[in-house]
Structure 1
Amino acid sequence: MIPAWSEDLLRQALSVPAGPSSDYDLNPDVAPLPGSLRPAGVLAAFHEDDGRLILTKRASGLRHHPGQIALPGGKVDPTDADEIAAALREAREEVGLDAAQVDLLGTLPPHRTVTGFAVTPVIGIVRGAFQPLPEPGEVEEAFALPFDHVADPSRYRVERRRWREGWRSYHAAPFGPYYLWGATARILLGLARRIRA
């Protein structure tokens, strides 16, 4: 059983040792793309009231991960100091979340994606009232998932689909009309496991 929402759960989870994760974790026979990984940051922003997690449904016309459920974030730009700065900048651009409203707790180990990114998940608490404002053309919808869904490892399952002339396994944690899967689901599963540790 998952304990009720509290900020202390997240703080304790961040103190649990864990290694990096990868889209290749369930697919050891798939070779990673050659070349160096591009740094990126995503923001896992939980609201202080009830722990609901802000997520987006990416626009269908985007080059990377169109139509997928994702944490706000993106690649590190030259003007960003680091992955944390990138995650906060992208959260403001994608859903209108002001960095001044985010109490940063820390980061999770990087997650390597099949599209060649090393994604650093940034964990934070949203303070005060916040109504997401989706960025037209980039975000089709902004919404929130309840903490008890995100933080419960039993909500995640392994599925598979055809990919590059073979089968690829991945984590998924659907919720109503929202199909949470892939890198975002794997990142959140890692956090859920640490909450349960």
Structure 2
Amino acid sequence: MTSPTPSRFPPAFDPQQGPLLPAVGSEGLRPPEPRRLTEQGLRALFAHPPVWTPELLREKRFSDRAPAQAAVLLPLVMHPRPTLLLTQRTAHLSTHSGQIAFPGGRLDASDADATAAALRETHEEIGLEAHWIEVLGQLPEYVTGTAFTVTPVVALVRPGFVLRPNPHEVDDVFEVPLDFLMDPDNHRRQGFEWEGVLREWYAMPYHDGARERFIWGATAGMLRNFYRMLSA
């Protein structure tokens, strides 16, 4: 008889209050070269990827959910100071409710591949049409604690688009400067022990002048991998 899967988090869990953990292996890390964060630099990065090693590939599982394939889009908006487009999920969703996330979701049988799924889900969630998007490539798969194997698809987005968020899935859509997210000084490790299991995660809190956007968990983990690629 197998032991039950430990509960994900304690009641009334607030990830922002998770104790800080030592930034092991992060000593001396620097932001990527500024040219890497430009439109030309990002295209060159994916056309000729550097040798690099992802830092995070799999979270500790905390769900009995059957494994599923998913894809998300990292939409990099090419303003003079590039930004990343993110969503705030609605509170009633069955997984990752209320969290900050990339647009994306499960692969459907009709999807040709992960890229097709990421583009379809992005259009369904926030109304961003494909003709604004230039796909650059993919990051390594990331397995969440809820048993989703996620393919992150990185893309450039031309400014000028109009979004139509799906109110059933998305509470808000906002942008965060890419150079903020790719600065390791803005990455922090947090965690705690619950039911004998250490839960830990990266967080990248961003204050947009009106409110704090607490980016954490799988979203922050995939961004940490993107940082590792950009700084290689």
Where on the TM-score scale, by shorter chain, does this alignment land: which range?
A: 0.7 to 0.9
SS in 1 for 2:92: coil
Describe the SS at the equivalent of 1:85. helix
Q: Cα offset for 1:59?
A: 0.3
- Counterpart contact for 1:23–1:183, Cα < 8 Å: no
* CA shift in 2, pair 1:78/1:163, >3 Å: farther
Comparing 151-160 with 9-18, greater Cα deviation is found at 9-18
What residue number does 1:135 align with?
Answer: 166
Instruction: Count the aligned residue pairs.
Output: 192
Query: CA–CA distance in 2 between the matches of 1:37 and 1:11?
Result: 33
Q: How does 1:53-132 map to 2 (within 5 A)?
A: 53-132=84-163
Structure 2 spans left out of the alignment, 5+ residues? 1-30
Q: Deviations over 1:91-135 (max 9, x none)?
A: 111111101110010001100111111100000011240233321
CA–CA separation in structure 2 for the residues paired with 1:192 and 1:89: 26
> 1:27 — aligned with what?
none
Contact 2:61 2:145 in 1 (8 A): no
Distance 1:156 1:116 in 2: 24
> How far did residue 23 of structure 1 move?
4.0
Alignment RMSD (CA, Å):
2.2
Deviation of 1:40 after TM superposition, in Å, equals 0.7
Query: Aligned residue for 2:229?
Result: 194
**Contact 1:13–1:191 (Cα < 8 Å) also in 2:** no
Q: What is the CA–CA distance in structure 1 between the aligned matches of 2:155 and 2:194, rounded to whole Å?
A: 34
- TM-score, length-scaled by structure 1: 0.88
Given the two structures, how large is their TM-score scaled by the length of structure 2? 0.75
Q: Aligned to 2:70, which of 24, 32, 40? A: 40
Using the TM superposition, give the Cα deviation of residue 8 of structure 1 relative to its aligned residue in structure 2, in angstroms.
Answer: 3.2
Contact preservation (8 Å) 2:52, 2:228: no
1:45-86, Cα deviation, whole Å (9 max, x unpaired): 111223211000000000010000000000101111111111
